[in-house]
Amino acid sequence: MNTNQNAPSSSNSPDEREESLIERSARMEAEAAKMQAAAEPSPDIKAEDPLAPEPPPSTDDTGAGADMRGVVGALQDELDKAKDQAMRALAEAENTRRRAAREREDATKYSIARFAKDLLDVSDNLRRALEAVPEDLLESEPRLKNLVDGIEATERTLLKAFDTHGIKKLEPLDEPFDPNFHEVMFEAPVPGKPAGTVMQVIETGYILHDRLLRPARVGISKDDGTQGGGNTPPHPGGHIDTQA
């Protein structure tokens, strides 16, 4: 009996060895392909750019969209409120600036008011001194005339200083009575003069720019009933309606 007939062959044939190498090569190629596919990103997944802006939130979710609209509305309300406050602050600052400028201008214009009031008595006394000198003495006494000339020059200088600083005289003779600038000392009927007309200036008044320093003390005419009172307008303060 031949013992070599049933024993397995100790070596493979050249065809079997060649087939084994082909299979191994194919297997290695498949594994390499799988590894490469795992390393590369899927074509459905896009590479993320870190500098790219975030996409807007999806509006498919009704609840999330409503919440976002609520947040935007709240932010818009806060922005409008901040704008309103800024505009109010700007307007207040402008009003403050204008008020400060007006107060500064008033302080400049009227800062001498108290000093000017004190000088009014000086002007009054100079005028009284000139009016107290009789005309006949001026002709007979040359030295007295020189004194009067000096007083008149002093008065002119004082009035010029008044004019330079905005101080004006009020001499409302034959003018309608104005309660804003005149003070009535007496009333008397005067033929030919309408009621409420200044007929005598007892004391001259003064104003500083447009502000009253001292009212002019005056006497005014009143209606004596012979001037056709229906056509004569009453002077200010001449009639007071007490039937309230």
Domain of residue 228, CATH code: 2.30.22.10
Domain check: are 178 and 155 in the same one? no
* Contact call for residues 223 and 196 (beta carbons, < 8 A): no
- Structure confidence by residue, pLDDT tens digits, 25-46: 777 777 777 776 665 555 554 4
Q: Say whether pLDDT at 184 is over 80.
A: yes
Identify which has the larger pLDDT, 156 or 37.
156
Question: Any idea what the Cα angle at residue 218 is, between residues 216 and 220, rounded to 5°?
Answer: 140
- Determine, yes or no, domain membership for 83: yes
- Determine, yes or no, domain membership for 76: yes
Q: Is 171 left (phi over 0), alpha (psi -120 to 50) or beta?
A: beta
The closest of 205, 144, 215 to 179, measured between CA atoms, is: 215
Q: How many domains does the chain have?
A: 3
pLDDT (mean) for 63-70:
75
Q: Which of 94, 110, 126 is the last residue of a domain?
A: 110
* Contact call for residues 196 and 138 (beta carbons, < 8 A): no
- Structure confidence by residue, pLDDT tens digits, 189-214: 888 888 899 999 999 999 998 899 99
* Torsion angle in degrees (nearest 10) through CA of 228, 233, 234, 236: -170
Domain check: are 154 and 141 in the same one? yes
* Contact call for residues 183 and 148 (beta carbons, < 8 A): no
- Determine, yes or no, domain membership for 141: yes
The closest of 114, 214, 229, 122 to 169, measured between CA atoms, is: 214
Domain check: are 181 and 191 in the same one? yes
No. of H helices and E strands in the chain? 5, 6
- Determine, yes or no, domain membership for 191: yes
Domain check: are 160 and 172 in the same one? no
Give residue 227's domain range.
168-234
Q: Which of 146, 165, 184 is the last residue of a domain?
A: 165
- Determine, yes or no, domain membership for 62: no
Q: Say whether pLDDT at 70 is over 50.
A: yes
Task: Give the pLDDT score at 107.
Answer: 82
